[in-house]
Amino acid sequence: MLESVQQTQTADVTPTTLAAVSAFAEPTHLRWAHLQPAGRALLVATVGLYVSAILLGPLAALGVELAHVGLGATLQALAKPNAIAALKMSLVLTAISVVVNTVVGTLGALAIVRQRFWGRALVNALADLPLAVSPVMIGLAFILLVGRDGWLAPVLDRIGLKVMFSFTGLVIATLFVALPYTLREVVYVLEELGTSEEEAAATLGASPWQVFWRVTLPNIRFGLGYGVLMALARSLGEFGAVLVLGGSISGQTQTATTFIHDALEERETAGAYGMAVVLALTSVVLLLGLEWAKRQKKVGRP
Amino acid sequence: MKIRVEHLSKRFGSFVAVDDVSFEVADGSLVALLGPSGSGKSTLLRILAGLESADSGQVWFDDESATDLHTRMRGVGFVFQHYALFRHLTVERNIGFGLDVRGVDKASVRRKVKELLALTGLSGLEDRYPSQLSGGQRQRVALARALAPEPKLLLLDEPFGAVDAKVREELRQWLRRLHDEVGVTSIFVTHDQEEAFAVSDRVLVVHRGRIEQNGTPMEILDNPATEFVARFVGEVNVLPASLRGDTAHSGALQAKVSGEVPAGLAHLVIRSYDLKLWREDPGVATVQRVVTFGDRVRVQALVDGAGPIVAQFPRRSSLLKNIVPGSRVQIEVTTARAYPAETSSLHPMAAAQ
Amino acid sequence: MTSTAHALAPNRAERLVRSAVVLYIALLVAVPLLALLSFGLSGGTHALVEALRSPVARSALWLTVWTSSVVAVLNTLLGTATAWVLVRYKLPGRAVLSALIDLPLAIPTLVAGLMLAVLYGPLTWLGHGLEARGMPIIFAPPGIVLALMFVTLPFVIRAVEPVLLEIDPAEEEAARILGAGPLRTFQTVFLPAIGPAALSAGIRSLGRALGEFGAIVIVAGNIPFRTLTAPVYIFGEIESGTPRAAAAVSVLLLLLALALHGLAGFIERRIGARHA
């Protein structure tokens, strides 16, 4: 009995499939029979309440509230030009961010992991910083840089580039907040991977270009995919920084999230809930993608 | 292809991995770089492949300088310690990789891969992924992949290190046969002396980034050039001794030695199978332990005034009669060598383990 | 030096690409943050103190710090418990729940705030009932705490989960065989392993909570002295054209966030973990 338990346990230290996860649950359950049933029940109840209060309840409430407002009214509110413009703006920003971050994330991670250069650790740390900085402060920081009295104001004036309350501002804000996700993910995968497959390819006559496309990229693809989906989610959902830098001008610099904010201020609940549900559903789809990529990453490891 | 290495050196920070190494490898031979881990043998191999650049020194392939040649231009096949198979490619695509990147047409690649699959006994596995193969199979795929572009030099880094003992023995014999069939100049790195002697034409013993000895397996076994080599190959006893003429005295033990060592203090090195002992009172030593393993028996005894010594006998040896812990024994050394006593530490066995 | 022979040594194109990426990251991240720091500190500490003398700013900072601290502690404890339940108990729907834990990473924080505002707002029987019993959630500090708990939900769970999965069952068995009770086993086998991971993730949730804006702005109501948090205060000052006050509070929060970020990173490097 004990032996079989141990086997299942060891086999599942790194579960690769959900089937495996549930397979090892039964013995664990038995092994922990010594924990008083009351204590167990209390623990499970606490966790259940916690997750319900924070996550499941609010998710359900939004659905119920949407039904309350009515699908017709919601769709009508979403069909208005400013709602469509806001959604379109968010999609464009997200698309730009995804493209830029895929490239920067891959190349940056390759440079950080595979090359030795002065300031490498600093760049690595810098790329992580957007995670630690509040979006509002990011907005403020850019105002101080590109705003009316900002450091770069004279330069921007001369070349006639308007950043504040403009598309450019929105792009910069989105790129900033989404920067760490692909980069970090690829850095992690590259470190795990090591260099021996790339070296093997080189000894077999592959050029650096061939090594990248035929060996490195296929090996990082799921990690990269995971990072890109994270960057996508973050870009789509960014609020504070695009609000400060973009100003949420309806039909111009309003994004899906700032649209919700403004709709709530104006008590346009149908539009706000509708847009919120659109974003929430999108993030559920993204979540499925993230789970898939996560599982592929694990399967892909030897 | 003939390989010549001249005054190669490589350091990593303050660690000297390769220290002024020179040697030659004859065309078509199979050579082992034998040494303990951290001795610099893998670095040496990687420099030959161009995976690492030397700080100084020259590498010549057939009298042409390869020192500054990029890895991919060297035409070298490399088998990595953990195989480094492309995990996202099938066995077939793995083996064909070196031809694919050179733009060889698909039909030719297929043909060559098929040939190599047959040669390496992997036919039928072409559509598997590396994760679906056993250790021995991965090893052979790695070898087939390295051989596919028909390299002029084959380098193998601890080729059998990651497979279990039984498979290793099989692979060894197979590698030797394969080498004789293909005839490509091959250099492999190993820390296992048995492996080096069983497979190779010549063995280069590497220690602390230097070549301690370069010779045939027989030369190295019979005439170890340095104390390190003597300790490294086979189970040996090392005893402090004083040398007078061709006789070494270590406590109560005396031994005739070969080798030209000036009189005075020396290290007496005796292989465990180069000594006889039998029951005799008073004798020179006391038996401490008698251990039987397989067809051999190890007797550990304490030599008066010298220290512990280990002797090996065939299990049925008549000499073993009445030898039990506590017995007094007489010892006769059949073959021994002496080396200048410059090594500071004296740990008999340590190097051999 | 014969660096040309090094198989994976970067060639000229690769070095060029590296320079471009480094420049991009420096321009995008370092320059604006330096601008913020230099502006915030340009008046010297005196100006900083002066700006912080504003009672609204002080109360906003205090509100942010205490709610974030409560959230960090709750998140560390409840997150560890949740990871424990997810890894070790067989519960129906566990796979779905495990996937949902990541939702806060994927959902816009503003939408999260809206969801909470709906559930705990006066429109549902829950929110209505709580308010009637003198426990208002929305437009009150508990709402802020809930919003921050939502956005930091995955942090500790995702940090502790892999560590729990990696603990050798033999260790636990050894402790049990040696006669240790469940609590003692937890203390000796599990706590040393999951403690540092939970701690660094807890620190990260504190850092994240200090800067949260989107999830709070709807839930809190932003009433000065009562539910106005520091990030919302900063936003208000930017809107009303007083960047000095905004920068002073920002610099304070930024330095705090960077310190926490560094501390968490230090712990993670010590235990060889990575953060979510």
Domain residue spans of chain A: 17-69, 70-299
Torsion, Cα of C207, C211, C216, C220 (10° steps): 100
- Which strands make up the sheet holding B285-293, listed edge to edge? B275-279, B328-333, B285-293, B296-303, B307-314
Length of chain B, please? 353
Q: What is the DSSP letter of B319?
A: G
Q: Tell whether C137 and C243 lie within a shared domain.
A: yes
Quote the tokens at residue A44. 């499970």
Which pair of tokens denotes residue C70? 């409560």
Pairing type for strands B247-250 and B76-79 reads unpaired
CB A4, CB A27: distance < 8 Å: yes
CA dihedral B299, B304, B305, B308 (to 10 degrees): 10
Site of tokens 């205490």:
C66
Q: Letter for the amino acid at C14? A: E
Q: Which CATH class is domain A70-299?
A: mainly alpha
pLDDT at B347 exceeding the cut of 60 = no
Query: Which one is predicted more confidently, C44 or C159?
Result: C159
Report the pLDDT value the prediction gives residue A107, as an integer from 0 to 100. Answer: 92
> Can you say whether residue C154 is alpha, beta or left, with left for phi > 0 and alpha for psi between -120 and 50 degrees?
alpha
Considering the domain architecture, whether residues C211 and C175 belong to the same structural domain is answered as: yes
Distance CA C158, CA C82 (A): 10
Query: What pLDDT, on the 0 to 100 scale, is given for residue A99?
Result: 96
A301 → chain B, closest CA residue: B87
Contact C1 B55 (CB under 8 A): yes
Q: Could you give the count of Cα atoms lying within 13 Å of A226 in the half-sphere of its Cβ?
A: 21
Tell whether the model's pLDDT for residue A126 goes beyond 60: yes
- Name the DSSP class of B130: G
Question: Is some CB atom of chain B closer than 8 A to the CB atom of C13?
Answer: no
Chain C residue nearest residue B58, CA to CA: C2
Q: Using a CB-CB distance cutoff of 8 angstroms, which residues of chain C are in contact with residue B52? A: 6
pLDDT value, residue C275: 62
What is the pLDDT at residue C42? 81
Tell me the chain A residues in contact with residue B145 when contact means C-beta distances shorter than 8 Å.
200, 204
Which pLDDT value is given to residue C274?
66
Measured CA to CA, the distance from residue A53 to residue A41 in angstroms comes to: 18
Q: With beta carbons under 8 A apart, name residues in chain B contacting A204.
A: 72, 97-98, 101, 145-146, 148-149
**A215-266 pLDDT, tens digit each:** 999 999 999 999 999 999 999 999 989 999 888 888 888 999 999 999 988 8
Give yes or no: residues C2 and C91 share one domain.
no
What total number of domains does chain C contain?
2
Q: What is the DSSP letter of A204?
A: T
Measured between beta carbons, the chain B residues lying within 8 angstroms of C7 are: 49-51, 70-72
Helix axes C44-52, C55-88, angle to 10 degrees: 80
Q: Report yes or no: A262 at the C interface, CB cutoff 8 Å.
A: no
**Which residue's entry shows tokens 């520091």?**
C230
SS3 A248: coil
What CATH number does residue C223 fall under?
Answer: 1.10.3720.10
- Under the banding of pLDDT at 50, 70 and 90, the label for residue B265 is confident
More confident residue, C187 or A278: A278
CB A205, CB B149: distance < 8 Å? yes
User: Distance between the two ends of chain B, CA-based, in angstroms?
Assistant: 35
Q: Which residue has the tokens 């002066």?
A: C50
Distance of CA B122 to the CA centre of its chain: 27
Digit-coded pLDDT (tens) for B39-59: 888 999 999 998 888 888 889
Contact B76 A203 (CB under 8 A): yes
Q: Kindly state the tokens that stand for C124.
A: 């549902």
Mean pLDDT of C227-243: 88
Query: Residue written as tokens 């601290």?
Result: C69
Distance from CA of A216 to the nearest CA of B (A): 10
Whole-number Å distance between alpha carbons of A168 and C85: 46
CB atoms A47 and C108 under 8 Å: no
The pLDDT score that the predictor gives to residue A210 is: 92
Q: Which residue of B has its CA nearest to A220?
A: B88
Dmax of chain B from CA atoms?
Answer: 81
Q: What digits encode the pLDDT tens for the residues B193-236?
A: 888 888 889 999 999 888 988 989 888 888 888 888 888 887 88
| A199 touches C8 (CB < 8 A) | yes
Which C residues in the span 70-89 are in contact with A, Cβ-Cβ below 8 Å?
A: 78, 81-82, 84-85, 88-89
What are the helix (H) ranges across chain B?
A: 41-49, 91-100, 106-119, 135-147, 165-182, 193-199, 217-222, 227-232
Contact B7, B58 (CB under 8 A): yes
Q: How far apart are CA B299 and CA A100, in angstroms?
A: 72
Kindly list the distances between the CA atom of residue B255 and the CA atoms of A81, A298, B170, B249, C274, in Å, as whole numbers in the listed order. 104, 62, 40, 7, 62
Q: How many CA atoms lie within 13 A of B214 on its CB side?
A: 9
Please report the pLDDT score of residue A235 as a whole number.
Answer: 94
Q: In this predicted model, which residue has the larger pLDDT, A91 or C171?
A: A91
H/E stretch holding B238:
strand B236-244
**Which has more pLDDT, A36 or B312?**
B312
Q: Which range marks the domain in which residue C2 is found?
A: 1-40
Chain B CB within 8 Å of residue C7 CB: yes
CA C270 to chain centre: 20
Q: Which residues of A touch B149 (CB under 8 A)?
A: 204-205
Is the link from the previous residue into B282 a cis peptide, with omega within 30 of 0? yes
Which tokens in the block code for residue C186?
A: 């937890």
Residue A26: what pLDDT? Answer: 40
Indicate if C36 and C103 belong to the same structural domain. no
C-alpha C275/C-alpha C265 separation (Å) is 8
Question: How far is the C-alpha of C267 from the C-alpha of C199, rounded, in Å?
Answer: 8
Question: Quick one: pLDDT at residue B192?
Answer: 86
Band the pLDDT of A19: cuts 50, 70, 90: very low
Query: What integer pLDDT is reported at residue C276 of this predicted model?
Result: 53
Residue window 157-216, chain C: list those with CB within 8 Å of chain A.
Answer: 165-166, 169-170, 173, 176, 182, 207-208, 210-214
pLDDT at A184: 92
Contacts of B28 (CB under 8 A, 6+ apart): B183, B184, B185
Contacts of B53 in chain C (CB under 8 A): 1-6, 9
Among C2, C3, C6, the strongest candidate for a mutation testing the B interface, having the largest count of B CBs within 10 A, is C2
Residues C79 and C139 in one domain: yes
Cα–Cα dist C219/C139, whole Å: 6
Domain match, C181 and C234 both: yes
Location of structure tokens 């235990």: C271
Question: Is C118 found in the same domain as C26?
Answer: no
Domain B3-222 annotated CATH 3.40.50.300: yes
Map residue C123 onto helix, strand or coil. Answer: coil
A233 neighbors A257 (Cβ within 8 angstroms): no
Scanning C212-242, the segments in alpha helix (DSSP H) are 214-219, 230-239
Average pLDDT of chain B, as a whole number = 85
Contact B275, B334 (CB under 8 A): yes
CA distance A264 to A81: 17
Closest residue of A to B149, CA-based?
A204
- Distance separating alpha carbons of residues C108 and C113, to the nearest angstrom: 9
Is A204's CB within 8 Å of B72's CB?
yes
